[in-house]
């Protein structure tokens, strides 16, 4: 009976503040950074997500689209850093990632965000497309770090 009560609570979503209409409720998307379809040029990849009040452990799944390998990590915080010096991560490879509160979920039903690892040279090449915007932001007095953060948050080109 506990199982059916849990299913009923999940289906009716009694704990939510807003009503969800027309669809199957699978929980909120927790991922925050890197955002979906981002290009990331960094040796240290930091994944960030929102936390839930009733969860103390989070499971991060990173899938290499090219090889279909999945890296599974667990933590109790709201971010984790991984480094590109592992065979799993290579410049030019595309990845999908998700954060879930279940250790053994059905990944076919999970929402994934895509990102691509790029080199520092590729970052410079891609950022040339935003040269006019960068000049405008510099004219407004923004620092280089603020400009990088703005381009990352708005256009998904991140260092």
**Three-class HEC string of 110-158:** CCCEEEEECCHHHHHHHHHHHHHHHHHHHHCCCCHHHHHHHHHHHHCEE
pTM summary value: 0.75
- Helix, strand, coil distribution of the chain in percent, nearest 5: 30, 30, 45
pLDDT average, residue stretch 36-43: 93
Residue 112 φ then ψ, to 5°: -115, 145
Looking at the predicted structure, is the pLDDT value of residue 22 above 80? no
pLDDT score at 15: 59
Which class for 55: exposed (0-12), middle (13-18), buried (19 or more C-beta within 10 A)? middle
> Given a cut of 60, is residue 133 above it in pLDDT?
yes
Residue 146: what pLDDT? 94
State pLDDT tens for residues 109-129: 889 999 999 999 999 999 999
pLDDT, average across residues 33-43? 93
Domains in the chain, CATH or no CATH each: 26-118 (2.60.40.10), 119-159 (no CATH)
Q: What is the pLDDT of residue 16?
A: 58
């Amino acid at each position: 009976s506990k199982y059916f009560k849990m299913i009923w609570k999940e289906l009716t979503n009694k704990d939510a503040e807003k009503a969800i209409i027309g669809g199957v409720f699978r929980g909120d998307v927790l991922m925050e950074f890197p955002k979906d379809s981002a290009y990331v040029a960094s040796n240290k990849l930091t994944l960030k997500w929102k936390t839930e009040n009733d969860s103390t452990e989070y499971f991060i799944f990173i899938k290499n689209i090219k090889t279909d390998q999945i890296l599974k990590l667990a933590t109790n915080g709201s971010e984790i850093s991984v480094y590109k010096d592992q065979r799993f991560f290579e410049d030019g490879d595309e990845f999908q990632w998700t954060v879930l509160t279940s250790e053994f979920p059905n990944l076919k039903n999970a929402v994934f965000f895509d990102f691509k690892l790029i080199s520092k040279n590729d970052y410079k090449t891609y950022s040339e497309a935003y040269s006019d915007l960068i000049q405008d932001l510099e004219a407004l007095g923004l620092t280089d770090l603020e400009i990088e953060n703005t381009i990352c948050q708005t256009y998904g080109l991140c260092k």
